[in-house]
Every structure is written in C-alpha cells, then in structure tokens.
A and B are shown apart, each in its own frame.
Chain A
Amino acid sequence: MLSTMPNIDTKLKLKISGLTRSARIMRAMTFYIPVIILVLLVLTAIFAPWLAPHDPIKVSLLERRLPPAFVEGGSMKYLLGTDSLGRDILSRAIYGARISLSVSLLVIAATAFVGTALGIAAGYLGGRTEAFLMRFTDISMAFPGLVLAMLLSVSIGPGFFTVVLALSILGWAPYARLIRGETLRLRNSDFVAQARINGASAWRIMLIHIFPNVINPLIIVMTMAVGFMILAEAALSYLGIGIPPPDPSWGSMVADGRGDIDRAWWISTFPGILIALVVLSGNFFGDWLRDKMDPRLRQL
C-alpha cells in the first residue's frame, strides 16, 4: 500500500498542473480581458459627461458622415466620425454605455427579485400555489417577447421605462424556475425541518433559511444575464421600440447607420463592435463565476 502512495501523488500533481503554459495563459485571458472591459464600461457610464468630447445629441448638419480620424478625410475632432446628422459617434457611444448598463441592471434587479420570490414561494409552499405559479411561469415563457414589447411601446409610449418594463415582464421566468428547483431541494433538507421543529413560521423559513442558500446560483444567473439584457435592449432600440431618439442607445445607433452602410460604414460598425464586446465579456465573466462558485451548474 505504502509504496503506491508517491505514485498517486505524482499523478495528482500532473493533473493539477497538467495544463500547458499557453492553455493557462488562455484561461487567464478569458477572465482578465472580460473583467477589464466590464470595468471600463462601468467607469465610462459613470463618467460619461467628463469623457465625452462632444454633446451626444448636438446636430451639426455641416459635418455629416465624417469618417473616423484614422481614415482618409477624417479629423481628430471626431475620433470615430459622425453620423448622418453630424453627431459625434464616440460621444454617443459613451453615453450609450449609460443606457445599456442602466437598462440591464434595472431589469436584472427586477427580474431576479420577482423570479426569486415566486420561485421560493412555489418551491416551498407546493400544492396549488406551486401549480398556479409554475403554469404562470410557463405562460410567461411561451409569450412572444417582441409582440409584448411592441404592445407596451404602442400603448404607453416608447421610452426608458417602457424598455425596462417589457424586458422585466419577459425575463423573470428563468429565475423562478431555477430558484424553485433549488428550493425543492432545500425544502426537504434537515435544517429546514429543524427550523420547523424550532417553531419558525413558513415566512421565516423562506426568508431566513432558504433565501440565503439560493444566493449563489442566483448571482451566477444574474451575471450571465448582463450580456443578454444589453443585447435585448439593443435589439429593441434597433427595431425602434426601445430608447427613442435622440437619446443614444447602441442598438438605435446601429439602426441609424443602416441606410448608410455602403458610404459611411462607421456609423453602424462602432456601436456594433461595442455590443459584441460587452455581451461577450458579460458571458465570459458569467461562465467564470459559475465555474468558481457552483460546479453543480456547470452542465447548464
């Protein structure tokens, strides 16, 4: 027995440091680059008025469709060029970060709250409450999201809060499902039984005993939703049922440049690149967090 021990040891070591140098660098990159991008995004959103070189909604018809500084005919005044109304693309993109970030954070907060509350209630109370809540969730997931967004946009008018409302109504169901599943597991655990034995009420058990135990998966799903919500806001704005002009949203900026794609590619391209970068970073960071916090969710 003893003679085999060092063998196991070396095997283990090999497994731990089994990654090649380049693979380890790659792994670190998929963490650091997304984090840096997300941090920059947050800072940009907060300090937008100081960072933006121009007023993002100021129209300058004499300076329409100016190319970016590094393209022939471009000037240092407009680093990323101007759009069809002569507005500075860089400044609009900087202010657009505010909209993207605030929409996605508000939506995530609202959906996570509603979904968690309903999920815990359904999972813990069971019976008819659960049947009703889960069918309600199914209906919500089956509802065509775009139709609802258009409906809201038409009925209460387009705007920041319409977008938040539409995405919130559409987004809570996955939380409810996840949290219900976690709650079902916890409901039958001994420590919940023990809490009941100690005389805790159903409210108390749900709030004090179950909720803290579902925070890990909750945070993971919330993080992974950041990219998705930014993309969803951009999509709505692109379709004209999101943030109304002249406020800059990356989605509406892409839409603005649609007609000029042959003569002024930069109008759509820069906000498009930003959306892709930020969404990817959000997803990479979410994946990393999931692997770090909850190996059980790895197969999701």
Chain B
Amino acid sequence: MTTKRDIVLQVEDLQTTFFTRAGEFKAVGGISFYVREGETFGLVGESACGKTVTGLSLLRLLPEPAGRIVGGKITLDGIDILKLSKKQMREVRGKRISMILQDPMTSLNPVYTVGDQIGESVRLHQGLRDDMVEDEVISALRLLRIPAPEQRLRDYPFQLSGGMRQRVVGSIAMSCRPRLLIADEPTTALDATIQAQYIALFKDIQKQTDVAIIFITHDFGVVANICDRVAVMYAGKIVETASTSTIFKRSKHPYTSALIRSVPRLDRKDDQLYSIEGQPPSLLNLPPGCRFAPRCPDVMDICLKEQPPVVEISEGHSVSCWKEKK
C-alpha cells in the first residue's frame, strides 16, 4: 500500500443512542474512522460493544423509534449520508453500501428462488429489463464463484448448503457493485474450512471490484487473514486503530493486548487460556473516565476521572489511552 487510494467512507464522531424505558443506551459513543477504496477495515470487539450498531448506523437502519444517531457525520464518496432523504437513502442501500448478515440460514427469503432474490436488488437499483436482470444475476453468482449459476438461480434457499447460501447472500450484496460492503460476522456461522474459503473469495472479489469492506468480527484470526487495518472497539468507543500488523506486533492499548492474549494459540503451550477479569460497563451507566479503566491492569488515577484523548503515536496508529499521553 504505497499509493494512497481514495477514501470511500469517512465517519466522524458517530454517536448512536437507544432511547428505552430503562434509559439511554449509548451504544456507540463517538467513534471516528475511514475506509479507503479496495481496503478491508476490521471492526473488532466483544459482543455488545457496538460493532453491529455501527454497521446499521452507516445504513441508517437502526431499529426505530428507539435507535437514533444523535451526533457525528458519515460521508460516503463526499456525500453526507445523514442529510439524505428517506428515498435517497433507499437508493444508497444495496447500491452504494450493502451489508452481509451473520446467519446465511435465515437471511434469505424462503419463498423466492436465489435468482429472484439477487434480481430484486438489481431491479430496484438499475431498472433493467427482465432478460438483462438474469444476465446480471448470473454475473453476480459468477463473481462469488457459485458453480453452474444458470441452474443455481432457479434453486430455493432450502436446497442449498450453508456455505452456498452465504455465497448467495454475498452475490446479493455485490450484485450492484457497491462502493462499500459491511460484513457483519459473515463467517461466524460457517465451519472453519468454509470460513477460510469464504475469506479468500472476498479478497479476490475485492481485487476485482475495488470495493471497500468493513469487516465486523470478534475473531482475531479472521482479522489477521483479511483486514488491512483494524479498529478495536470497547463499550461503544474505538480504543485503538492501526494496521493489522501493527495491532498484532505493537499494540499499545491494554485492552487490545489483553484481547490478543486471550486468543488460543497452537504455537505456544499455555496451561490456561488468558481472560480479562470483570465485565464491560453497562451502557446505561458509563464511568466518567476511561471505559476500560475498571478492568485495566495498568490503571492510573486519571483513568478513572477523565476520558482519555486519542493520541496518534505513529502514522495510522492511534490509541485512546492515558498511558500514551504522557
């Protein structure tokens, strides 16, 4: 990555809150990142840290009326997404930004054929005649390397295996050649060998189409395989952003290091798997200081009182930790 490519998506200080009877859940508490053309950006963190909500915020598909974007700016190819009308936003979805959900077994409509479902997106966004729609559908199936696409497009979802279904879901997402693809744990429901195939496939598709990918996952193994850069999220905040190799070799945030240490490894003989003590804070009742402070091994006085600033310690590597501020 010597030449810098165009920035496809720029997110600045995005804040998403769920207004519920129990109170305000600050699911995303002001995060900033960008994704370049042809780049895969990983969004890593444990369950309920705001990864999926971030993804849904980018599509403006938060569960209404509870979920709302309360602050920040999302720019896609220079367009401020939060200022678009509902109708304009529908044109963005599926055409410029698309998303793959976690479970391929449930994300296809059981009553339509594969071809109909891929065709829906094509029809919605490109206004093509029926015979041309079929060509587009076949080319989308080819892109995901689905064998015998002419036959597969007449299959119903129940006739396909899990891995094949996830490829079909991928075909739907890629059918209009979007600029940005949000992949929300697309490999979690697949077994290890299919997972590896799927990731290799996506790397290949990215080469062909230059799509920017946001890869949401909790699995550092997957991150190492596919991501160019990674942001680690904790309790609705990004604690560290860096290139993948930097994250693995020179991570600065104690949470990142702890997370990487808790991945089981075959090349080391550990008696016990490392785990982080305690629980993430409740999003209803966030501590005034650093959100990781109560569980942090290197906690200092200031950590408990004030939120840490984002410090850029080298190019493309920023950390939100008081340790680095000094």
By a beta-carbon cutoff of 8 Å, the part of chain A in contact with chain B is 127, 189-191, 193-201, 208-209, 212-213
Contact = CB atoms under 8 A, between A and B. Distances in A.
A199 B92 contact: yes
Chain B CB within 10 A, most for which of A193, A194, A209 = A194
Interface in B264-311: none
Given A127-B65, A190-B103, A197 B98 contact: yes
A191 B98 contact: no
Nearest to A127: B65
B93 A194 contact: no
Contacts of A194: 101, 107-109, 169, 172
Contacts, number: 60
B91 interface: yes
A226 to B, nearest CB: 25
Nearest to B182: A197
A208 B222 CA distance: 36
Given A194-B172, A198-B124, A200-B124, A209 B65 contact: no
Interface in B15-49: none
A137 B204 CA distance: 54
Contact of B111 (A193, A199, A200, A213): A213
Given A194-B101, A194-B172, A199 B94 contact: yes
B169 A197 contact: no
Given A191-B108, A196-B61, A198-B93, 13 more contacts: A194-B107, A194-B172, A196-B93, A197-B173, A198-B94, A198-B98, A199-B93, A199-B121, A199-B125, A201-B90, A208-B120, A212-B111, A213-B111
B71 interface: no
Contacts of A191: 106-110
Contacts of B59: 197
Contact of B95 (A199, A201, A212): A199
A213 B65 CA distance: 25
Interface residues of B, number: 27
Contacts of A199: 90-95, 121, 124-125
A213 B93 contact: no
B227 interface: no
Q: Which 8 A-B pairs have the closest CB atoms?
A: A199-B94, A198-B94, A199-B93, A190-B107, A190-B106, A191-B109, A212-B111, A198-B121
B99 interface: yes
Nearest to A191: B109
Given A190-B101, A190-B103, A197 B108 contact: no
13 contacts: A127-B65, A191-B106, A191-B110, A194-B108, A197-B61, A197-B99, A197-B101, A198-B93, A199-B91, A199-B125, A209-B109, A212-B109, A212-B111
A26 B243 CA distance: 72
Nearest to B111: A212
Contacts of B121: 198-199
Interface in B73-114: 90-95, 98-99, 101, 103, 106-112
A200 B124 CA distance: 7
Contact of A189 (B94, B106, B111): B106
Contacts of A193: 61, 101, 107
Contacts of B61: 193, 196-197
A239 B124 CA distance: 55
Nearest to B98: A197
Contacts of A208: 120
A197 B109 contact: no
A213 B110 contact: yes
